[in-house]
Structure 1
Amino acid sequence: MTLQDLIDELGGNLVQGDKEWMVDGANSHEKAGAFDIAFADSDAAVTAALKSNAGVVVLKPGAPTEYPHGKCIVESDQPKLWFAKAAHLVKKSTHVAGIAHSAIVAQDAKVDQGVLVGPCAVIGMHARIGDGTIIGAGAVIGENVTIGMRCHIYPRAVIYPGTTLGDRVVVHAGAVLGADGFGYVRDSVTGEYTQFPQQGTLTIEDDVEIGANSTVDRGALEETRIRRGAKIDNLVHVGHNCDIGENVILVALTGISGSSTVGKGAVLAGQVGIGDHVHIGPGVILGGQSGVFNGKTISNEGQRPGTVMFGTPARPLKQVLREQALLTKLAKAARPSQKEETSKAGE
């Protein structure tokens, strides 16, 4: 596509170069060629990018006053974001629609034109697959599953019956969506466990990405919902009845117990553990290995924007650091002096 096409789609200001310049790739400035885009968001990166072979360089307004002759320059307030979006637009698709001979597709499943179904994939009864979606090899799409347009379901992903996916959802290999939640009722007399009904639904909204081998359980009697734009890393677990807000980030090995909510724009770093019926407020940042006890609420109220919560129980990072410093002082104060240790040794 042309550079002008990208600017029309993404904004930005062309300060030098040909608006009809053809762009067919995005790359680092070390590897970029004449028809690639590179970006620069620091002074050092600007210098390197302008010396590179990249035909188009995206940078912040007011960087150098002079640019190398023959290079297209686009100014954007967020050059890295502009570059990332452009990379998606110019990416060459190898998607060839069709259903592999070894795939099994129920007769009453509705598979739109432009869908690719890979070898040994299974699509159950009454399932609906939107235009432009890719179903990878060995993926299993259960009965009454609805998948929107331009989704990508990677090999061996499993989507349980009744699950709904919006448009442009990405589900990586080995992910399991809509499995039964871990809910049991204990008989106080015999000690035996009976499963509480796990007959709710799972809804994944538009533009969500779910990493490899992650799991999201269906609701028990109601719904589990992953809202628009949320990004879930590999090896994450979301329990039943949870509500994960828009543009939330869940990093690898995070576990969220049932009936918890995570507010819009929150970030949960790696190995965070959330108890059941917990409420994480909008924009909250939980540092790696933090923990929140059952039923607690964590919010940004009274905190400066960008405050990181850390530890178990999670609390502001500055508070944790003060506590650790105090404990270190107490430990030193309680430690016997060298003279006392020598005296004890001689006894």
Structure 2
Amino acid sequence: MPTLHELYDWIAEAGPAQPASSLAAPVNVQRVTSLVDATANAAVFASDAATLQQAIATEAALIFAPIGSSADDDRVLPVRDPRLAFTLLAHRLRRTPALGTHLTASIDPGAELAADVEIGPGAVVAAGVRIGAGSRIGARVVLERGITLGERVTVQSGAVLGSYGFGYARRPSGSYLLFPQQGTLVIEDDVEIGANSTIDRGALGETRIGAGTKIDNLVHIGHNCRIGRNVILAAQTGISGSTVVEDGAILGGQVGIGEHATVGPGVILGGGAGVLSGKKLFGAGQVFWGRPAQPLRQYLRDLARLRKGA
């Protein structure tokens, strides 16, 4: 069991309030869970007064609640961000040693694997691939030649990294010839890539995914794209070649982006939004929606006009 001092250290980012009890006291927390499943060794979180009362009614050993919450219960630990505190604790409790390389994985002798790397069943790691410390590669993942993964990268089952991009030169006869796809792919630290997602290598240059970016299942990122730091890409999003998505942007599910487009820092694209080739969207915190994507207020006005005209 962690002591209260250890617990506070683990969740420091979430801004815990100063405890009244001794920091050396042990806390009987072995897992995190929902309110419905809370037992005497579990931690839960409450985001408002109503859920806090529900949490208090459980047997939970620890309850994260917003600072300023009114509760006469020693199990309640006030924090600035209960959801974040709960998540930080979950990650700390579930830390397990890497399982190493599964017997059925195919690792080329020319690949470089750092310490504490896990390679799942049936995964394929080609020559020239470099994988940083603490990374986890899921079952049947394919890492093509010359790909670089930073530290603590997670790649879920079935993903393919470093595949050829979709670029062709057209012959006079009308047939197509694959444009050289000889570039690289760099995945920076703490990136997470969902199941069955695909990220193409650069054609002549580099495709890069910035540190801390989280990519959902079934996402496709084309060649020569540059995805910034701490970007969120939800499921079934498709990004065409040579597009830039800058730091902190959030893309909802089924977003489609044409080639050579730019999504500025902190921009939010609602689910199903479409960005035309070459389009540039800027404005941190600005929400864009629709096809073609436009500021949310404008999109809603146009939608209302259509309804009136119907």
Alignment TM-score, normalising by the size of structure 2: 0.94
Alignment of 1:99-248 (within 5 A): 116-187=100-171, 189-248=172-231
Aligned to 1:109: none
Aligned to 2:56: 50
Query: In structure 1, how many angstroms separate the alpha carbons of the residues matched to 2:95 and 2:39?
Result: 16
Aligned to 1:315: 294
Q: Is contact 1:3–1:22 with CA below 8 Å preserved after alignment?
A: no
Query: In structure 2, how many angstroms separate the alpha carbons of the residues matched to 1:131 and 1:138?
Result: 20
Query: In structure 2, how many angstroms separate the alpha carbons of the residues matched to 1:204 and 1:96?
Result: 20
Q: Is contact 1:216–1:238 with CA below 8 Å preserved after alignment?
A: yes
Query: In structure 2, how many angstroms separate the alpha carbons of the residues matched to 1:92 and 1:329?
Result: 56
DSSP-derived class of the 1:309 partner: strand
Stretch deviating more after TM superposition (147-156 or 319-328): 319-328
Query: In structure 2, how many angstroms separate the alpha carbons of the residues matched to 1:33 and 1:251?
Result: 33
Give the deviation of 1:59 after TM superposition: 0.9
Query: In structure 2, how many angstroms separate the alpha carbons of the residues matched to 1:285 and 1:237?
Result: 18
Q: One-letter code of the match for 2:44?
A: A
Query: In structure 1, how many angstroms separate the alpha carbons of the residues matched to 2:145 and 2:154?
Result: 18
Q: One-letter code of the match for 1:58?
A: F
Give the deviation of 1:65 after TM superposition: 4.6
1:62 aligned residue (65, 68, 71): 68
Listed one character per residue, the Cα deviations across residues 216-266 of structure 1 (whole Å, up to 9, x for unaligned) are: 000011110000111111111000000111111111111000000001111
Query: In structure 1, how many angstroms separate the alpha carbons of the residues matched to 2:31 and 2:217?
Result: 27
Q: One-letter code of the match for 2:212?
A: G
Query: In structure 1, how many angstroms separate the alpha carbons of the residues matched to 2:60 and 2:114?
Result: 37
Q: One-letter code of the match for 2:209?
A: I
Q: One-letter code of the match for 2:281?
A: I
Listed one character per residue, the Cα deviations across residues 3-52 of structure 1 (whole Å, up to 9, x for unaligned) are: 32121232213535563224221111222222221111111111011121
Q: Is contact 1:27–1:37 with CA below 8 Å preserved after alignment?
A: yes
Residue 23 (1) aligns with residue 29 (2): yes
Identity of aligned residues (%): 47
Give the deviation of 1:192 after TM superposition: 2.1
Alpha carbons of structure 1 residues 282 and 292: separation in structure 2 relative to 1, 3 Å = same
Query: In structure 1, how many angstroms separate the alpha carbons of the residues matched to 2:4 and 2:19?
Result: 12
Which is bigger in relative contact order (C-alpha 8 A, separation at least 6)?
Answer: 2
Query: In structure 1, how many angstroms separate the alpha carbons of the residues matched to 2:299 and 2:220?
Result: 27
Give the deviation of 1:96 after TM superposition: 6.2
Aligned residues: 304
Give the deviation of 1:74 after TM superposition: 1.8
Q: Is contact 1:202–1:224 with CA below 8 Å preserved after alignment?
A: yes
Segments of 5+ residues of structure 2 without an aligned counterpart are none
Alignment of 1:79-118 (within 5 A): 79-91=82-94, 93=96, 95=97, 97=99, 116-118=100-102
Listed one character per residue, the Cα deviations across residues 299-325 of structure 1 (whole Å, up to 9, x for unaligned) are: 11xxxx633201111101221111121
Query: In structure 1, how many angstroms separate the alpha carbons of the residues matched to 2:20 and 2:90?
Result: 20
Alignment TM-score, normalising by the size of structure 1: 0.84
Q: One-letter code of the match for 2:11?
A: L
Residue 75 (1) aligns with residue 54 (2): no
DSSP-derived class of the 1:4 partner: helix
1:273 aligned residue (256, 276, 298): 256
DSSP-derived class of the 2:10 partner: helix
Alpha carbons of structure 1 residues 309 and 96: separation in structure 2 relative to 1, 3 Å = closer
Q: Is contact 2:120–2:139 with CA below 8 Å preserved after alignment?
A: yes
Aligned to 1:8: 9
